[in-house]
Amino acid sequence: MNLLTIPVVFFALFTQSIAGFGSGLIAMPLLIGLIGLETATPTFALLAQTSGLLLILRFRQEMNFAVVWRLLLMSVIAVPIGVWFSGVVNEHLAKFILGAVTVGYAIYTLLGLSVPRLKQRWAFSFGFLSGLLGGGYNMGGPPLVIYGTSQRWKPGEFRSNISSVFFPTGFVTISSHFLHGNITPKVLQYYGMLLPVLLAAMFLGFYLDRYIKPEPFRRGVLVLLIILGTSLIL
């Protein structure tokens, strides 16, 4: 077992506990290099689902399924396709896709690019893309963030709405990994080892959330994402 996975998972989930998303963007580029794509993807899917449960419990009063049902529907449909795709695609191509998504999202957010207000029917397309990236690589957040920006969601709405999509689709993701034989004893061993790390990171983030200035923290994470994504592309 690679013990370097511990600080990676801790920081990724600490960030998620504050921002409500982003753990896959941080963790996956590093975990792939440490334990390989075949182990990293299902392991982090299990961890993300566990952290999603904690986020659901924390933000349950702010959830509005009337806003996210289109995103959720198409994401659920796309997740099995994403899981299948990750199993057949060349790992070098997978790393390039991960790197491109990570860098593209980080630059988009850092530049503060404005997104025109989209009609709600666009949620079907963004939900499908989120499901593909989430099922394949645990990186379904960027399409949801871009759509949420177009709808002028407030910070609290981002966390609650994205959690409302991630948690139900997480069951589909894990079921798809199980059907494809990806939930191996090695994956379960890593999950068991990293579960206490997850709990420590999430609860620390929940506690420190009120003390951390969100903008400097967010920009620092985005710069880190550019570095991580570039390392996957090169």
Lowest mean pLDDT: which of 5-14, 36-45, 215-224?
A: 215-224
Q: Residue 20 pLDDT more than 70?
A: no
pLDDT confidence bin for 225, thresholds 50/70/90: confident
CA dihedral 136, 138, 142, 144 (to 10 degrees): 90
pLDDT digits (tens, 9 = 90+) for 55-92: 888 877 777 788 889 999 999 999 999 999 888 888 78
Would you state the pLDDT for residue 104? 87
User: Quick count: other Cβ atoms within 10 Å of Cβ 61?
Assistant: 6
Question: Mean pLDDT throughout 213-223?
Answer: 77
Cα-based torsion angle of the residue sequence 106, 110, 116, 122 in order, rounded to the nearest 10 degrees:
20
Write the pLDDT tens digit of every residue in 158-180: 778 888 898 899 999 999 999 99
